[in-house]
Amino acid sequence: MKLEDLAKEDIYDELFEMANIHNQDHGIDDIVIWVGLANKRHGLRVKVSNKKNKFDAEDNFNIQMPSLDYDHTQVASWIGAKKLKQIAEWIKLNQSLLYDYENGVIDDTRLFLDSIVKVIN
């Protein structure tokens, strides 16, 4: 598939800088959060996997930034209110960093991951 074909399918941006963020980086047990370049169609957001300890591109939900809105019907039952609160707290703690990474101001994934502030359980 050619790059121009990927652009038509709206996955072109996902080929570039992105990060799967695990417990050791964010401090939330069993949760994997995906962060990538902001897509003009979707805006700023993170994706949270509905699979424990693994990101699943087909089974996740989005949390919009800065509103922290999400579709509760897309959230797996094992992700309870406590984990959702921790995820929201993590987004708030790292909001500026997330914006910079998603907007391409920070283009080094290792620098991004090393700069993340963990949630304290």
The CA distance from 107 to 87, in Å, is: 23
Statement: residue 5 has pLDDT above 70: no
Work out the angle between the directed axes of helices 81-93 and 95-102 (0-180°, nearest 10): 70
The CA distance from 60 to 121, in Å, is: 23
* Residues 87-108, mean pLDDT to the nearest whole number: 95
Statement: residue 12 has pLDDT above 80: no
Half-sphere exposure of 56 (CA within 13 A, CB side): 13
What digits encode the pLDDT tens for the residues 26-64?
999 999 999 988 877 777 999 999 999 999 999 999 999
* Residues 78-105, mean pLDDT to the nearest whole number: 96
Q: What's the pLDDT at 10? A: 47
Statement: residue 15 has pLDDT above 80: no
